[in-house]
Structure 1
């Protein structure tokens, strides 16, 4: 009963955020309004705010379908050159993350293992899971750094790009004739998540429906377009969930750590914005597409923002998917090997 009341409070706060963001003509009101207002309200409302991850997952399925329907296959004609560009940019951001980690060790007086895990530009849930498996990594600090990164990037980049946004699609109008088809598509997409989990696909609630819809398009299956109202609900579900990630308890880590978390996030965001500007000049993409493609945010959030503000969803999604694969295949195994080396050195085995 208490959780239901808490969810009701989050819903009211989220709708208030949507209304204020719409009133002020701020970008992506159905995502950023709930995110910002739920985030701020936690510091004033004494009741614990609860928003289940299952709501976020439902929103991800809807958004995955929508992004999959926006995919343009002509992008792959230039893939050879783009792989080189994406690889070089990810190597650059990995090296920059190492510099940030070194700065954290010196300024924050934390272990090198914790510092490196704090600055890896990977997915929030995957990095936190990695930190849980390793010894002598401060999980609270790692969680705080990555939560701050996600929230700052998801809030900051749309506001920065507001003047450059072309305005995203509103989604299809609701139609009773396509309702049954839409429900069937949602059920099949939810089933694809189970397959994605079995195959260990990153971000399965988003990527599995996306790949399903792309596959259906390749096979010439018609899919009903997601209604604008349903997309708004999905964005609210995601925004409210992200907003309640940064809890007041995290700020008891100490003033130095709290400030360093914000500082490293801003430096990382500025670095990726610089990469976006270079990408825009090299490839002729729009500023919004380039910055969202290189941003160190989540695949799901950046693809959603691309769709919402009128950037090229295909380019942003491919760049973000490549970054996730780069982190999973190269960065995390190297980080794991480094952590094992540190453990062996500390126990006197080498």
Structure 2
């Protein structure tokens, strides 16, 4: 019976995702799987049979996709703009940490929740860290990060279009699909990514299931000429698996959602986008880039959504990709571990205070 429920859940998730894709919704396979899972859980109130390792498979695939975007050409594009990339990234992240304090006061949530909810461009990573942090409100982190995607899709194209003076274009240098460039050596890549996953788990590195394949593919791209992009079907599968995982979590927590949380999430995300707008206004004084390219490079959204907007706006795709890829790696390899250390110290300090009392 459990396997039958799991089959029904997957069927419902795939069907709703396909409907949303046909309707032209952004990230339909992720949102479709989440919505289908929440509805399924509310109607059946039974165990879905979905295992944690299934969600990990989706995260592993997402890690591969992130790594595949980092090629030799991308590094070359980034070399001439390293200072601007680092400075702009730091300014946006500092802004998000400042807003975290504001978010804490608005919602009454813990600082752990606020930091994980406000860090931009890192939905999957922050949700996974929220799962591991007992003082983090997983529902608030998830919904704040997800609502930002919606607001980015609505507000960023509007703001960018005001300053756009280019014609729509298409991305250059699209990498071939994985299935069209398979070579035997890729077995070493797969094995290495799996081994590295276990090593990072032993080291208690944050989000090892995503970081290990990302690092593996990055090394592969820099050491071979067999670069690739994942077939779109793989990404659909990854979004469905991750969407079901998040949907199960949300369905168990949604009863705690209230009007104060909704208003706080909207205000925080709008402030983050508008704050980024102001940072870019100041940043124009330090660079020769136009506002449109800089704003899309700094916008607090996922690289997939931002690049789609950039194509429609006729913006500099290579530049915008470089900024967002750097921010992804900066958050994963520096910000996430630092946040993890800070949260661990807070846990240790609370335990010590408890022992003293």
Quick one: structure 1 residues 207 and 342, their matched pair in 2 at CA, closer, same or farther if it must change by over 3 Å? closer
2: CA distance, partners of 1:54 / 1:190? 13
Q: Residue 56 of structure 1 aligns to a residue in which SS?
A: helix
2:271 corresponds to 1:268: no
Partner of 1:85: 88
Residue 290 of structure 1 aligns with which residue? Answer: 298
Q: Where in structure 2 are the equivalents of 1:50-129 lying within 5 Å?
A: 50-71=49-70, 72-73=74-75, 74-105=77-108, 114-121=109-116, 123-129=126-132
Instruction: Return the offset for 1:156.
Output: 4.8
Classify 1:201/1:331 alpha carbon distance in 2 versus 1 (closer, same or farther; 3 Å).
Answer: closer
Distance 1:40 1:224, change over 3 A: same
Structure 2 unaligned residues grouped into runs of 5+: 120-125, 162-167, 284-288, 312-316
1:66–1:225 contact (8 Å) kept in structure 2: yes
What SS is found at the alignment partner of 1:178? coil
Give matches, 1:92-241, under 5 Å.
Answer: 92-105=95-108, 114-121=109-116, 123-130=126-133, 132=134, 137=135, 142-158=137-153, 172=177, 174-175=179-180, 178=182, 185-241=189-245
Q: CA deviation at 1:217?
A: 2.2
Report the Cα offset of residue 98 of structure 1: 0.9
Structure 1 residue 348: Cα displacement = 8.3
Secondary structure of 1:120's aligned partner: helix
**1:192-245: CA deviation from partner (whole Å, max 9, x where unpaired):** 322333444432222221222222222235245432322222222222222222
Alignment check: 8 A CA contact 2:176 2:227 kept: no
Whole-Å separation in 1 of the counterparts to 2:185 and 2:306: 26
Partner of 1:109: none
Unpaired stretches in structure 1, ≥5 consecutive residues: 106-113, 296-301
- Deviation string 1:21-41 (CA, Å, 9 cap, x unpaired) is 122122232333223333344
Match of 1:329 among 316, 338, 342: 338
Structure 2 partner of 1:34:
33
Tell me, in whole angstroms, the C-alpha distance in 2 between the residues paired with 1:159 and 1:45.
34
How high is the TM-score relative to the length of structure 2? 0.72
TM-score, length basis structure 1: 0.73
Q: Structure 1 residues 80, 198: closer, same or farther in 2, change over 3 A?
A: farther
Counterpart residue number, 2:123: none
Deviations 1:143-173 (A, max 9, x none): 2222322332345544656788978879627
In the comparison of the two structures, how many residue pairs are matched? Answer: 318
Q: Tell me the CA shift for residue 246 of structure 1.
A: 0.4
